[in-house]
Amino acid sequence: MRKLLKYLADYKKESVLGPLFKLLEASFELFVPLVVAAIIDKGIANGDYAYILRMCLVLVALGVIGLVCSITAQFFAAKAAVGFSTKLRHALFSHISSLSHTEIDRLGTSTLITRMTSDINQVQAGVNLVLRLFLRSPFVVFGSMIMAFTVDFKCALVFAAAIPVLALVVFGIMLITMPLYKKTQKGLDGILLKTRENVVGARVIRAFSKEEDETAEFKADNEALVHVQKFVGRISALMNPLTYIIINAAVIWLIYKGAVRVEMGELSQGMVVALYNYMSQILVELIKLANMIISLTKALACGNRIADVIEVKNSLKNGSAKQGVPDAPAVEFDNAALTYSGSKETAVEGVSFKAMHGETIGIIGGTGSGKTSLISLIPRFYDVSGGTVKVDGVDVREYDIAALRGKIGVVPQKAVLFKGTIESNIKWSGEDITDAAAARAVHTAQADEVVDGKDGMAAEVEQEGRNFSGGQRQRLTIARALAKEPEILILDDSASALDFATDAALRGAIKALPYNPTVFIVSQRASSIMYADKIIVLDDGVPVGMGTHRELIRDCEVYREIYYSQFESEATDNG
């Protein structure tokens, strides 16, 4: 949390002035009981109407000063809090954008989103609250005590005794209930999960006739939650009655003590009223303070979650090379291996091959055989854990990352578009893409009918491309990658939602591209890669075969099995 404070630095003035004006307001409030005491002791005792009126005008004046002070304080507090969160939001967002795949994997996107949104909002509210109230409440409590001491030392001792007891009760109850509240939150998460699961899995649950069992489980979880809730409720319900008792017991003691001192002529009646009023002020502030501490703990927890993300460092070091070596192979792997951080086993290892300019490389293998891991080394989404990967003859780690990725068009497995228009999505990789280039890319990607079916390039795309079907999105993401006419094109299982005929037409069109890109096709379908110049067969993260279709059918057991599992053959009988 302390790390986040630097985003408040630009609002130093506001963060000092806010609480300061709040203190001013509170100190003027503390004069009110004294004024009332003066009215009673001087005005009433002497029947002096003019004095009473003057004093009441003083009360109004105190109110006006209080109003001005507190509005000023609110303004500074709001400015500091909102400014702080704006800066923090920007810093966090650019920080998250700068993280590499390794960190994104480790943190997970859903938590990054909550940190970006609700956590920051909580922190903003927390900062605002602190600037406005945090100094005020303790100040009023202790101020009241100090004022009580100025009124009468002996009676004020009652305050000195009551305040620690009050603090003990308030903080004690908070300390006991806070973990319990966390427990109810967890219980709530549990029944949320159960509900969502039952909506998403409705078909399976009904197919297995598990409705009654699921309902019974839900009811048990729900009952357990309510049980904890009631228990916490009973404890926090103690807060008000206990503070009420303590304050009023103090009042009784105070009045009795006051009476003794009045009898001895050491105190006036008005002063007893003043002391009583200070006690009442403490009660009001204590309730505010307790509420505030709850929101403050929340804000602190959220602040720490944000700080955790900001502390995560990008593990990729940027290089400086902008250009490759002429006439070198487009892509060259030399004994490359990748181990994801936090994992003991290598995802892929021992990969060596050369891909010349304009060649098509097919990568095939079973589920989890390391196909995607292999190709993610080319745009340097991850750093190799052994060996080297070169693009145009230069180690990918020496490249400026943006320059490296500028050469490469990637079509990821998950076909996702971004809010905007079809055109803004196709031209996503740079503003300099011409309309003609965009149209060519759409054509090559077999996406003409998608664009025409949606009223042209200006058609609206909703968030994540929700208003397009899987197959439509896939073709548009291919067009997006083609639009910048990349030197290297990577298709990561990008045709899975396309039927075989479209898939074949797509491959034909890419082959015919005039700028002749080096193409990597990752697929589980043998038909998608069998005409590639070179096919890499992966099994459990290790290349077990490399060559043309013909060579592999002859030499590679795994490839043969994959191929014959998909195509009819005399040699196998898979009935």
Partner 1 sequence: MADVTNRSTIKEIWKYIRRYRIYLVISIILAAMTVALTLYVPILVGHAIDNIIGPGRVDFSGLTAVLIRIGVVIAVTAAGQWVMNTVNNRITYNVVRDIRDEAFEKIERLPLAYIDSHQSGDIASRVIADADQFADGLLMGFTQLFTGVMTILGTLFFMFRINIWIALVVVVLTPMSLLVAKYIASRTYDMSKLQVKTRGEQTGLIDEAINNLKVVKAFSRERKTVEEFDEINERLYDCSLKAVFFSSITNPATRFVNNIVYAAVAFTGAAAVCGAGFAGAITVGQLSSLLSYANQYTKPFNEISGVITELQSAIACAQRLIGLINEPPETEDGTEVIEDVTGGVDINNVSFSYTPEQRLIENLNLSVKPGQRIAIVGHTGCGKTTLINLLMRFYDVNSGEIRVDGKDIRSVTRHSLRRAYGMVLQDTWLKTGTVRENITMGRPDATDEEVRRAAVAAHSYGFIRRLPDGFDTVIGEDGGRLSQGQKQLLCITRVMLCLPPMLILDEATSSIDTRTEISIQKAFASLMKGRTSFIVAHRLSTIREADLILVMDSGRIVEQGSHSELMKKNGYYARLYNSQFKL
In 108-210, alpha helices (H): 109-114, 120-129, 136-151, 153-200, 202-207
CB nearer partner 1, residue 55 or residue 535: 55
User: Does residue 341 bind partner 1 (CB under 8 A)?
Assistant: no
Nearest distance from C-beta of residue 237 to partner 1, angstroms: 3
User: H or E stretch including 461?
Assistant: strand 460-461
Chain residues 518-537 in contact with partner 1, contact rule CB under 8 A: 524-525, 527, 531
User: Does residue 312 bind partner 1 (CB under 8 A)?
Assistant: no
Nearest distance from C-beta of residue 95 to partner 1, angstroms: 10
Nearest distance from C-beta of residue 553 to partner 1, angstroms: 14
User: Does residue 367 bind partner 1 (CB under 8 A)?
Assistant: yes
User: Does residue 286 bind partner 1 (CB under 8 A)?
Assistant: no
What Cα–Cα distance (Å) separates residue 110 from each residue in 28, 115, 122? 48, 9, 17
User: Does residue 240 bind partner 1 (CB under 8 A)?
Assistant: yes
Contact 468, 497 (CB under 8 A): no
User: Does residue 94 bind partner 1 (CB under 8 A)?
Assistant: yes
Q: In sequence order, what are the residues at sequence separation of 6 or more whose Cβ sits closer than 8 angstroms to the Cβ of residue 569?
A: none
**Of the candidate residues 10, 86, 106, 308, the single one contacting partner 1 (CB under 8 A):** 86
User: Does residue 320 bind partner 1 (CB under 8 A)?
Assistant: no
User: Does residue 245 bind partner 1 (CB under 8 A)?
Assistant: yes
Burial of 287 per CB tally in 10 Å (0-12, 13-18, 19+): middle
User: Does residue 44 bind partner 1 (CB under 8 A)?
Assistant: yes
Nearest distance from C-beta of residue 193 to partner 1, angstroms: 6
DSSP string, 512-537: T-TT--EEEEEES-HHHHTTSSEEEE
Chain residues 450-509 in contact with partner 1, contact rule CB under 8 A: 463-464, 469-471, 480, 497, 499-501, 503-504, 507-508
Chain residues 121-160 in contact with partner 1, contact rule CB under 8 A: 121, 124, 128, 132
User: Does residue 574 bind partner 1 (CB under 8 A)?
Assistant: yes
Helix (H, G, I), strand (E, B) or coil at 545: strand
Tell me the window of 3-11, 117-125, 174-182, 440-448 that interacts with partner 1 (CB under 8 A): 117-125
Chain residues 369-408 in contact with partner 1, contact rule CB under 8 A: 369, 379, 381, 401-402, 405-406, 408
Nearest distance from C-beta of residue 326 to partner 1, angstroms: 23
Q: In sequence order, what are the residues at sequence separation of 6 or more whose Cβ sits closer than 8 angstroms to the Cβ of residue 222?
A: 191
User: Does residue 82 bind partner 1 (CB under 8 A)?
Assistant: yes
CA pair distance 380, 487, nearest whole angstrom = 15
CA pair distance 307, 88, nearest whole angstrom = 10
**Of the candidate residues 50, 175, 207, 512, the single one contacting partner 1 (CB under 8 A):** 207
User: Does residue 325 bind partner 1 (CB under 8 A)?
Assistant: no
**Of the candidate residues 181, 428, 443, 459, the single one contacting partner 1 (CB under 8 A):** 428
**Of the candidate residues 24, 172, 183, 214, the single one contacting partner 1 (CB under 8 A):** 214
Query: Which residues make beta-bridge pairs with 520?
Result: 361, 490
Contact 385, 401 (CB under 8 A): no
Q: How far is CA 443 from the centre of its chain?
A: 38
CB nearer partner 1, residue 73 or residue 394: 73
Number of residues that bind partner 1 (CB under 8 A): 162
What are the two backbone dihedrals, phi and then psi, of residue 154, each rounded to the nearest 5 degrees?
Answer: -65, -45
Tell me the window of 2-10, 31-39, 168-176, 318-326 that interacts with partner 1 (CB under 8 A): 31-39
| CA-CA-CA-CA dihedral for 168, 174, 176, 178, to nearest 10 | -160
CA proximity to 391, closest of 321, 450, 493, 300: 321
Q: In sequence order, what are the residues at sequence separation of 6 or more whose Cβ sits closer than 8 angstroms to the Cβ of residue 98?
A: 314
**Of the candidate residues 55, 141, 169, 337, the single one contacting partner 1 (CB under 8 A):** 55
Residue 92 identity: L
**Of the candidate residues 24, 178, 180, 205, the single one contacting partner 1 (CB under 8 A):** 205
